[in-house]
Amino acid sequence: MRHNKIKVALVGNPNTGKTSLFNQLTGLNQKVGNYPGITVDKKQGKCKLSETVTATITDLPGTYSINPNTIDESIVLETLINKDNEDYPDIVLVVAEVDNIKRNLFLFSQIKDLDIPTVLVINMSDQMKRKGISIDVELLEQELKTDVVLISARKNIGIDALKKALLHPKYKKTEALAVYSKRMDVDFFTKVATELKNHSLYKAWLLITQCNDLSAFPKQEQVAIEKFREDENKLARLQHKETVLRYAKINDILKKTYKVDQQKATTLRARLDKVLTHRIFGYVIFVAILMLIFQSVFDFAQIPMDYIDSGFAQLSNWTTSKLPKGMFTNLLTEGIIPGIGGILIFIPQIVILFLFVAILEETGYMSRVVFLMDKIMRRFGMSGKSVVPLISGTACAIPAIMAARNISGIKERLITILVTPFTTCAARIPVYAIIIALVVPNERYYGFNLQGLTLMVLYLIGFVSAIVSAYILHKILKVTNKSHFIIEMPNYKLPSIKNLVVTILEKTKAFVFGAGKIILAISVVLWFLASNGPSSSFGKANEIVAKEIKLDGINLSESEQQQKIASYKLEHSYIGILGKTIEPAIKPLGYDWKIGIALISSFAAREVFVGTLATIYSVENEDDTTGIKQRMQAEINPETGKKRFDFPTGISLLVFYAFAMQCMGTLAVVKRETNTWKWPLYQLFGMTAMAYLFAFITYQVLS
Amino acid sequence: MTKTVADLQIGEKGIIEHVCLNDIPLKLLEMGCMPGKEVEMVQIAPFNDPLYIIVNGSHIAIRKEVAEIIKIETDKILCDIIKSK
């Protein structure tokens, strides 16, 4: 039996339950890739329509119109306009929602004109009765010349009927822009039709108004398109006219087919909005929610994190005891296992943060925050929409910077991207946690835990430096900003568990495999550099140390001798040499060459700092049973005879990490998002300079 | 002086009388904000910006500068005439 494959594209306004439907159709049978050249997530999944037909479903980014406002939205046009696109669908599935059908049909009317077979699904049909809505589906099908299916993606109603419609759509042909063109501008469109006769009229119109890259078209057409583009004002006017005409048509159709009993229309949204967007309560609730998020991140995440930490220490031990001694065992127990542990330890915090961000987005609350914060953020050169990246930045700057794409103003978006790395991301937490545990006493002061208080201050430093830098950038950046801040305030919804699970799995997977690769690679390289060195000193460590002991004339036990050899080896390994080289530069900040090594290696990613110290101290000290904290605590500064990680050094390190731009992943994503190396380099040098300066001041004042 | 959306009080309604097709963002039109449609002010953010409105069934927030270019009529009798047109 032959197995047929068809391609289906899922299109719809944001907040119509498009993603719920995608998850319902594909289950966990989906994968996330990238569109070539840009970092927009491409979500595809497989769905079995019948015994013989499988559909590959592409979930295109949510949009209100085929005329794109953001990079994400442009994907929709690019996928649907070009027959040679690898995702060009056999059928387009337009998702609408009972509440907002008028606006949903606007996008539908554009898609329909593209000459691709189209099926319209109307989601959340289970709420029609409650909302007093009735739809004459049969008449609507005739009017739109399209198959219409009522579904409820969340309650899994109507999915079978939808599959049937995808297999055998009743309506195939469609009528295009021709209907409107006569009322828009007859002369203009007659010219378009003759000069771009290889395209349908609507496609030609989209090529003229929307398509940036014309290189795929013959020279003659390019010239014609450029010519049509000369009068920008006229085009804008025609676009506006087209919009008005489309709505007029939609209104006519809906008058016949769609009825709302206004009395029954719920007032839940209105009531919630009264409180959640209130000028005082609105902020109180927002701050309370933020506190709840941060509280959960520290409280709930701590238990699994400790568990992971000790689990990997034990695993490392167990491996050492079971495997024969040698090069490979060392690599495994001192390089790879701590490296993997260093990645997995972030999972609890990332999961909790992403869970909250996903809940805020799913429920529709995030839009209210954007509304409340817009005016305030604008004073700092950002937009209300910058709140989402800044909050997500407390999990990881990489997805946060990608989320800045929704900001339509160029300058607002750029500033948001540039300052997001200041917010305290999950990767800083292990660095903070270990240093705070070392230098801040675990005591209560007026009922506040000092360690918790320090962490809170560090978070504040992150936010304040983001805001202050934004303000400075706002004043000095000369970028013309033509933005239109228009956001939808969607209806409130209970979040769907399925959507949350899928989102979190996806983001965590991206973090573990994306950032994980770097961390693991660095762990291995570090281990190599720390276990090898020039043969003149490193290679003869045993003899040299033995000689020294003899010269000093003290009696050392076997294990003390071993320890001495190990630290001599580390000091003369390649990495030790590297650390020693930069020691003069970091001494004013209160650091020694071992911390220097950790600073260098954590240029790739902050969290590597702890891993590096773990590697350094476990290379030095064969006894793996003591945790990293105890080992750092025991470390003595040979010059002063006091603890290496004393109060001034510790605080100086905290300050350094609060400001330093130490994350290759972020730099790479900023490069991709801004399309130039200029901005990531500014970030790198600017933030590192700030980190050095403030850490210097801190250490000098405290010591 | 003609009123604009920015002049509406919370809870007040009006009918869009005129939007200058050259100035209004296309996206706003695409959301259904066009002459003859009813606008309702739902909420005004602190510092009087942005504004949360309902227009043509869409719940949206816009900035004051954009609201100021949407001219409206709030007189009841005139509204009914515009609506019936």
Pick among A102, A108, A375 to test the B interface (most B CBs inside 10 A): A375
Beta strand segments in B1-85, E: 3-4, 13-19, 38-44, 51-55, 58-62, 70-73
Question: Which of A59, A52, A57 minimizes the C-alpha distance to A17?
Answer: A59
SS (H, E, C) A594-626: HHHHHHHHCCCECCHHHHHHHHHHHHHCCCCCC
Report the SS3 class of residue A648.
helix
Residue A618 confidence (pLDDT): 63
How many Cβ atoms sit within 10 Å of the Cβ of residue A475? 9
pLDDT of residue B84: 63
Check if the beta carbon of residue A687 is closer than 8 Å to that of residue A659. Answer: yes
**pLDDT means per 10 residues in chain A (703 residues)?**
82 88 84 64 86 91 86 86 86 90 90 88 88 88 88 89 88 62 80 84 85 78 86 85 87 87 69 90 92 78 82 84 80 76 76 86 91 92 90 82 83 94 87 87 80 88 94 87 80 87 82 72 79 82 80 73 77 87 92 87 78 68 60 76 85 94 83 87 94 95 89
Answer whether A436's CB lies under 8 Å from A451's CB.
Answer: yes
Query: Hey, CA dihedral for B22, B25, B30, B33, is it positive or negative?
Result: negative
The 3-state DSSP class for residue A550 equals helix
Taking residue A262's Cβ as centre, other Cβ atoms within 10 Å add up to 6
Which of B5, B43, B51 to probe by mutation at the A interface, max A CB count within 10 Å?
A: B43
DSSP state of A427: T
Beta strands in A16-160 (DSSP E): 30-34, 41-48, 53-59, 91-97, 118-123, 133-135, 147-150
- How many whole angstroms separate alpha carbon A247 and alpha carbon A254? 10
The two three-digit tokens of residue A107, written as one number: 């996008």
- The helix/strand/coil state of A526 is helix
- Compute the nearest-CA separation of A255 from chain B (Å): 14
CB atoms within 10 A of CB B2: 9
Cβ–Cβ < 8 Å for A282, A368: yes
Residue A584, token pair as written in the block: 């003069």
- CA-wise closest residue to A600 among A672, A673, A688: A688
Residue A605, phi then psi, degrees to nearest 5: -165, 135
Q: Give the gap in angstroms from C-alpha A177 to the nearest C-alpha of chain B.
A: 16
Residue A194: predicted pLDDT: 85
Contacts of A384 in chain B (CB under 8 A): 50
Q: Look at residue A33 in the predicted model and tell me its pLDDT.
A: 66
For A593, half-sphere exposure in the C-beta direction (CA atoms, 13 angstrom radius) is 18
Q: Is A61 helix (H, G, I), strand (E, B) or coil?
A: coil
Q: Distance between CA atoms of A375 and A665, rounded to whole angstroms?
A: 31
Counting beta carbons within 10 angstroms of the beta carbon of residue A38, is it exposed (0 to 12), middle (13 to 18) or buried (19 or more)?
Answer: middle
Handedness of CA A195, A199, A201, A204 (dihedral sign): negative
A489 contacts chain B (CB < 8 A)? yes
Between CA A316 and CA A323, with CA A320 as vertex, the angle to 5 degrees is: 130
Q: Splitting chain B (85 residues) into consecutive groups of 10 residues, what average pLDDT does each group show?
A: 88 86 81 87 90 90 91 77 64
What pLDDT, on a 0 to 100 scale, did the predictor assign at position A173?
63
Are A240 and B26 within 8 A, CB to CB? yes
Do the chains contact at B52 and A489, CB–CB below 8 Å?
yes
Q: What is the per-residue pLDDT for A558?
A: 75
Nearest to A626 by CA among A338, A317, A336: A317
Instruction: Give which of A633, A694, A619 is closest to A658, Cα–Cα.
Output: A694
Give CA A9 to chain center in angstroms.
Answer: 23
- In DSSP terms, which residues pair with A448 in a beta bridge? A445
Check if A103 contacts B (Cβ < 8 Å): yes
Cα–Cα distance for residue pair A399/A456, rounded to 1 Å: 23
- What class has domain B3-84? mainly beta
Q: Hey, are the CB atoms on B34 and A244 less than 8 Å from each other?
A: yes
Tokens of A605: 């990613």
| pLDDT for the residue numbered A40 | 67
B32 to chain A: closest CA residue: A103
What span, in angstroms and rounded, lies between the C-alpha atoms of A222 and A145? 33
Q: Please state, in angstroms and rounded to a whole number, the distance separating the CA atoms of residues A136 and A622.
A: 77
